[in-house]
Structure 1
Amino acid sequence: MKKMLLAIYDSFSEFEITVATAMLRGTYEIVTVADSLKTITGESGLQFVPHLMYQQVNATEYEGIIIPGGDLINVKDTEELFELTNIFYKQNKLTAAICSGTYALARAGVLGDKPYTVTLNQKQRNFLGCFVEENFRYEPVVKAGNVITAQGHAYVDFGLAVAEQLGALTHPDFTKEFYKGERNQLMEEAVK
């Protein structure tokens, strides 16, 4: 089975990546990675134990990396994450981030002249000093080659974009309607 790397860190926003990981399940093994193997507490208070540390990752074994948003204080100096992200990008593998997780892409030098989105206001982006302001787009999801970025509120569209990029979106209309809470075609067929 193909493998996808999911970066986690204290305060990461679980809801931002659950649609993406749910869509990949069955096609991809999701492997969590962090700066240590200590228990991680997500934004909601749920706890996670990472599978690997960054330095244990062999990038050739994975199809890409997904980086959720969260409190940047817990990831701001994680050079191993930035280096690994850059490796995936250079190998033309999926390099995806949502909400403030896009910071890791900026720090990794992945964004360059690419359009991107991030859930940080202009003052925050300027303070962090790693974003090219003229490339910022206030759009739900921005795709640029193998790089996908998204606003935090666009977690369903992010999941759809990730699954589509990886060829894991088998029933696009059904999946989109289901995860957006618009309808459940399976139930509709069952009650006819």
Structure 2
Amino acid sequence: MKKLLLFLYDSFAEFEVITLVTALKRTDYTLVTFSTKPKGEAVTALSTLCYLPARSVQDIDVDEFAALVIPGGAPHPFLHAQKLIQVIRSFYEQNKLIAAICGGPSLLGAAAILNEIAYTASIEPSDLEYEHVMNWENKRNERLVIDKNVITATGSNYLDFAEEVLRRLGGVEPEDKNPLQYFREPSMS
């Protein structure tokens, strides 16, 4: 069984990953959520909806997972969460897929990954709480950037982000140019 790991935290922007999570149902991947809180303690998303992660970061064995997804929101309180940063760095060093959107790439910066790849994010140099982890020289002014085993996207590009993650996971046919059409254009079905 293939597993995808999704980081949940207080203030995470679930709209940036909910389409991906929904589309994963069509794949052979199982979604496992985790947070930095103790197991059994809920996180409150940006929308104020509460989620109960399946695991604590303390219980994560990177070898168990094929990919890691990091949503945006306001992740700056976690930039020094050493166990979380170790998990992120381990995914990168093992050449496993990492996908981060909006503010999520700041956690890649905390893991020193942004020094090694080109990326995009919905963070600017004026966002002072992130300045010590971001490598602005490697940031691209693009909606979606893929470098090595890392996918990054700006927050409003969550559909392109979801499609690219699905492609990398083998969840859509490579020739399918618009696999999430249902979410892009309203229809009567």
Same fold (TM over 0.5): yes
Following TM superposition, by how much is the alpha carbon of 1:182 offset from its aligned partner in structure 2, in angstroms?
6.1
Aligned to 2:2: 2
Once the two structures are superposed, what CA deviation does each residue of 1:129-155 show, in whole Å capped at 9, x if it has no partner?
222212111211100021010000000
1:162 aligns with 2:165: yes
Aligned to 1:98: 101
Match of 1:141 among 139, 144, 150: 144
CA distance in 1, matches of 2:51, 2:86: 23
Whichever residue aligns with residue 117 of structure 2, its letter is K
Following TM superposition, by how much is the alpha carbon of 1:5 offset from its aligned partner in structure 2, in angstroms?
0.3
1:88 aligns with 2:105: no
Q: 1:79 to 1:7 in 2, by over 3 A?
A: same
Aligned to 2:126: 123
The answer for unaligned runs of 5 or more in structure 2 is: none
CA distance in 2, matches of 1:111, 1:52: 26
Q: CA RMSD in A?
A: 1.9
CA distance in 2, matches of 1:3, 1:106: 24
Q: Which has the larger radius of gyration?
A: 1
In percent, how many aligned pairs have the same letter? 32
CA distance in 2, matches of 1:117, 1:126: 17
1:41 aligns with 2:44: yes
Following TM superposition, by how much is the alpha carbon of 1:181 offset from its aligned partner in structure 2, in angstroms?
1.7
- Scaled by the length of structure 1, the TM-score of the pair is 0.89
CA distance in 1, matches of 2:164, 2:85: 22
Following TM superposition, by how much is the alpha carbon of 1:76 offset from its aligned partner in structure 2, in angstroms?
2.9
Following TM superposition, by how much is the alpha carbon of 1:126 offset from its aligned partner in structure 2, in angstroms?
8.6
Once the two structures are superposed, what CA deviation does each residue of 1:27-58 show, in whole Å capped at 9, x if it has no partner?
21110011122111101111111111111111
Following TM superposition, by how much is the alpha carbon of 1:104 offset from its aligned partner in structure 2, in angstroms?
0.6
Deviating 4+ runs (over 6 angstroms):
none
More off after superposition, 105-114 vs 83-92:
105-114
Q: 1:126 to 1:7 in 2, by over 3 A?
A: closer
* Residue pair 2:76, 2:106 contacting (<8 A) in 1 also: no
Once the two structures are superposed, what CA deviation does each residue of 1:49-95 show, in whole Å capped at 9, x if it has no partner?
11111111111110011000112344233221111010011111011
Q: 1:73 to 1:103 in 2, by over 3 A?
A: closer
Match of 1:176 among 162, 180, 188: 180
Higher helix share: 1
Q: 1:101 to 1:137 in 2, by over 3 A?
A: same
* Residue pair 1:98, 1:118 contacting (<8 A) in 2 also: yes
Aligned to 2:21: 21
* Residue pair 1:10, 1:74 contacting (<8 A) in 2 also: no
Q: 1:63 to 1:41 in 2, by over 3 A?
A: same
Aligned to 2:60: 57
CA distance in 2, matches of 1:174, 1:136: 26
Aligned to 1:190: none
CA distance in 2, matches of 1:123, 1:74: 17
